[in-house]
Amino acid sequence: MKTFSVKIPEGIRNGEKIRLLGQGKKGSNGGKNGDMFIKINIQNNNKFKLEGYDILTDLYLAPWEAALGKRVNIDSIDDTVSLYVPPGIQSGEIVKIPQKGYKDGRGGRGDLIAEVKTVVPKKLSEDEKELFEKLKNISNFNPRSAGSHN
């Protein structure tokens, strides 16, 4: 049993192989050892999904953040990005952050693509409930009527 230290090149693709010269099976009749190949398997996790060179993630917003707009921090694979979310953004809309995706191995990068997901609190304080009731009574917005998503 051997342990190897392997440098993974930037931008390596799912299914590509890394070749370790002379680290395979012993050669027969005094010949050179064979090579060892390591197949790369890039797994998605619960935060990021790789699609080509783009990285997909979710951007969770409270209803008031989606309605009023807000500057939010969103994690990329190597840092945190400050992002301005415009007022009226809809759940399911896409926000693209250029050059924050996966490295392509040639000096470029894909994009970080965040899908907006508006999240409603499961439990409301009495004050929050009162404010939502007030909003319900003064608003004429109906998400089920034609043209309400514009």
Residue 31 confidence (pLDDT): 82
DSSP 92: T
Residue 58: pLDDT band with limits 50, 70, 90: very high
Task: Specify the fold of 49-122.
Answer: HSP40/DNAj peptide-binding domain (2.60.260)
Tens-place pLDDT, residues 90-117: 999 999 999 999 998 888 999 999 999 9
Tokens of 149: 């998503």
Average pLDDT for residues 3-12, to the nearest whole number? 88
- Residue 29 zone, left/alpha/beta (φ > 0; ψ -120 to 50; rest): left
Residue 146: pLDDT band with limits 50, 70, 90: low
DSSP 22: T
Name which of 150, 79, 83 is nearest 116 in CA terms.
83
- Rounded to whole angstroms, the Cα distance separating 132 from 1 reads 64
pTM: 0.79
Residue 148 confidence (pLDDT): 62
Q: Would you say residue 83 has pLDDT above 90?
A: yes
Q: Percent of the chain scored above 90 by pLDDT?
A: 70
Instruction: Write down the domain spans for the chain.
Output: 1-42, 49-122
Selected residue with higher pLDDT from 26 and 119: 119
Q: List the helix and strand counts (H, then E) for the chain.
A: 2, 8
- Rounded to whole angstroms, the Cα distance separating 115 from 111 reads 13
- Rounded to whole angstroms, the Cα distance separating 18 from 10 reads 12
Tell me phi and psi for residue 106, to 5 degrees.
Answer: -125, 20
Asked whether 42 and 55 are in contact (CB, 8 A), the reply is no
To the nearest whole number, what is the mean pLDDT of the chain? 92
Q: Would you say residue 87 has pLDDT above 80?
A: yes
